[in-house]
Structure 1
């Protein structure tokens, strides 16, 4: 297995990448656990394919705001795991750039911060 994949899958944080259209192009094992599917089945899907519509709309709005500003952005987002457990995630999204510096999408890292907050 690729060392990069092993490295990302070893992290407890959710790591993902999307193209400019909002389609997932990569994600680690923690990301796949959040969605209750294998990473390979999630590639190419949109947030609207995977999350309730209101949450998917919030994710896309945050993505576009970050891409428009061109700078990393921090958000707090409540999600529900397949087992029904709710978790508050702190998500940092940054532009994903190619070797020439052109923005080709975004990369995100989400860390659960539920223990620091009261559930909703």
Structure 2
């Protein structure tokens, strides 16, 4: 038997399709899926924002924990010592002394005015 020289091709039909290929249910399904995708995308964004905020708060808390009562110069922990009834923070690493608000006045006494300030105060208070 001899092989065929030309492949057989199906005949083209002249008949047009009698039904519409447009499926309205498929469009409804696509619209529902799009709405569902939007809903879950928004939900994911809200969750990610909440996680970012939570992470930022945790990082801030960790920074406070690890930097509180540490020497600003060398990073060693500060140790409170009592000096003339005033609690001062001293660093054992570098020997620095760190004072809180009001502790300097507690150590050296109230702020003393210079001679020029005393002169003006005396002139203002003087009434002939």
TM-score by length of structure 2 reads 0.16
Of Structure 1 and Structure 2, which has the larger fraction of its residues in helix? 2
TM-score by length of structure 1 reads 0.17
* Higher RCO, 1 vs 2 (CA within 8 Å, ≥6 residues apart): 1
Which structure is larger by alpha-carbon Rg, 1 or 2? 2
Of Structure 1 and Structure 2, which has the larger fraction of its residues in strand? 1
